[in-house]
């Protein structure tokens, strides 16, 4: 993340609190969100009631949105013309989890934007 101690995460707007955005500087650090051509990382809580609408407002295809918000995911990578959909699983190291509990990481990756 950012090399400084400043928290650069910013809600996309006051009403969509499950959506946070960062600009990627290309050198491994982040900056406050910028819509002027900067590479973007947009992270949201896929279980939030407004997640589907937020993803649709970003112009993401309904097929991709369905995969990003699905509760039962399988590891996979699918290339689309607009980007790549990547679903990963990892061991949940939370003290209250069982060994078979897995966490899911879902990514929609475009040339200038990552949505997680």
Please write the tens of the pLDDT for every residue from 85-110. 999 998 888 888 887 788 889 999 99
| 17 vs 50: CA distance, rounded Å | 10
Q: Which two tokens stand for residue 77?
A: 């990578």
Q: Which two tokens stand for residue 45?
A: 């809580």
In a domain, 1, yes or no: no
| 69 vs 74: CA distance, rounded Å | 12
In a domain, 26, yes or no: yes
Parallel, antiparallel or unpaired: strands 76-79 and 102-110: unpaired
In a domain, 28, yes or no: yes
In a domain, 2, yes or no: no
In a domain, 62, yes or no: yes
pLDDT of residue 10: 45
State how far the alpha carbon of 112 is from the alpha carbons of 18, 87, 95, 99, 108, in Å: 21, 19, 36, 36, 11
Domain region containing 15:
10-115
In a domain, 106, yes or no: yes
pLDDT of residue 36: 67
In a domain, 4, yes or no: no
In a domain, 5, yes or no: no
Q: CATH code at 42?
A: 3.30.460.20
| 45 vs 60: CA distance, rounded Å | 16
pLDDT < 50 stretches in the chain: 1-15, 17
Q: Give Cβ neighbours of residue 2 (< 8 Å, ≥ 6 apart).
A: 8, 29, 30, 31
pLDDT of residue 83: 97
The number of distinct structural domains making up the chain is 1
Write down the residue that tokens 């590891």 correspond to.
75
């Amino acid at each position: 993340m950012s090399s400084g101690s400043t928290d650069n995460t910013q809600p996309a707007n006051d009403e969509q609190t499950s959506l946070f955005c960062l600009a990627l500087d290309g050198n491994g650090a982040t900056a406050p969100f910028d819509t002027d051509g900067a590479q973007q990382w947009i992270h949201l809580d896929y279980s939030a009631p407004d997640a589907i609408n937020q993803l649709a407002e970003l112009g993401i295809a309904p097929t991709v949105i369905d995969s990003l918000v699905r509760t039962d995911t399988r590891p996979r990578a699918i290339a689309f013309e607009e980007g790549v959909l990547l679903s990963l699983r990892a061991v949940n190291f939370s003290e209250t989890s069982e060994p078979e509990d897995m966490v899911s990481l879902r990514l929609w990756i475009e040339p200038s934007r990552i949505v997680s």
